[in-house]
Amino acid sequence: MEATDWSDLENDAVVAAYFSMLSDELSGRRYNKAAQNRALQDQINRSRGSIEFKMCNVSAALRGLGLPIIKGYAPRFNFQMALAEAAARWLACNPEWEIALHQKEQRQMAEPAPIFVGVAPTLRNAPPPDELEQMQRIARRFDAAGRDERNRALGYAGEERVFHHERATLKLNGRDDLARQVRWVSKEDGDGLGFDIASFTPDGQDRLIEVKTTNGWERTPFHISRNELEVAEERRDHWHLFRLHDFAREPKAFELRPPLEAHVSLSATSFQASFE
């Protein structure tokens, strides 16, 4: 009979196999789930069924960490935190993995079609409370928002995608004149303005867009600066938060308008220390 708890070595082995398959899937390469399962059976002496179930647990852990997941391994919740710790260890040992996800995106960028902008998750049915709480607990513990914020390749790729989205949207509405005036201000002028893209509505009104990008699901938390919040309040008629999620696979999006407190809970994560 199999032991109930999995050791760190077993968790590490399953997580490594999962990331190997996920990398192949995101790159469009063929891979064999059954062969990976058989190799793990030999390596850790667990049954086929328990390994399949554990792979679904890994999907849930990666969702909490703000990462893409393998199709076909639907997230199964109520797993031990040790599994999320194993995923965090793998990421720490492979820091280039997330950066590489967006190299193809940047190479292929030309003038893509507009992104479908859906409804914000706060306006749709929420996941079951227990599942949502577990995802939030993992995101807080491993700072999923901070990892996205520090991933410059991800942030750059997301802003670039929204820049082209805005231009394409205006062109589809017959406003080539405005499309030519869209500016990627965070790239041209630097950070600090409180928004990344200066665009327009089809009738010529300003659209000041702050882009927040994640490879994770729609409820992955994100960081927002005090300056961004102040600009959102000062320019609330024109300011938009453009949230990109599932970015590594097929970007999806929704927008939030001020006041942001109507959509999200804002929590202080650090304090500035000043000398008196």
pLDDT along the chain (276 residues), means of 10: 80 98 95 97 96 97 96 92 97 90 58 88 80 91 92 93 97 97 96 96 98 95 95 97 94 95 84 73
Residue 2 falls inside a structural domain:
no
Write out the two tokens for 238. 């024109």
Which residues have C-beta within 8 Å of that of residue 120, sequence separation ≥ 6? Answer: 243, 254, 255, 256, 263
* Contact present, 143 and 220 (Cβ < 8 Å): no
| Residues of the domain holding 176 | 116-262
**The tokens 């929420």 sit on which residue?**
126
Whether 99 maps to a domain, the answer reads no
- What was the pLDDT predicted at 107? 46
CA distance 59 to 166: 33
Q: Do 253 and 134 share a structural domain?
A: yes
Give residue 1's pLDDT: 42
Evaluate whether residue 34 is within a structural domain: yes
What's the predicted TM-score (pTM) here? 0.89
* 248 and 130 belong to one structural domain: yes
Query: Do 132 and 250 belong together in one domain?
Result: yes
What is residue 122's predicted lDDT score, i.e. its pLDDT?
A: 82
Residue 145 placed within a domain: yes
Q: How many domains does the chain have?
A: 2
In this prediction, residue 267 carries a pLDDT of 85
Asked if 30 and 145 sit in the same domain, the reply is: no
Please check whether residues 166 and 202 belong to one and the same domain. yes
Q: Are residues 72 and 164 in the same domain?
A: no
Q: Where are the beta strands (DSSP E) in the chain?
A: 117-118, 183-184, 197-200, 206-213, 239-245, 252-256
In a domain, 27, yes or no: yes
104 is a domain residue = no
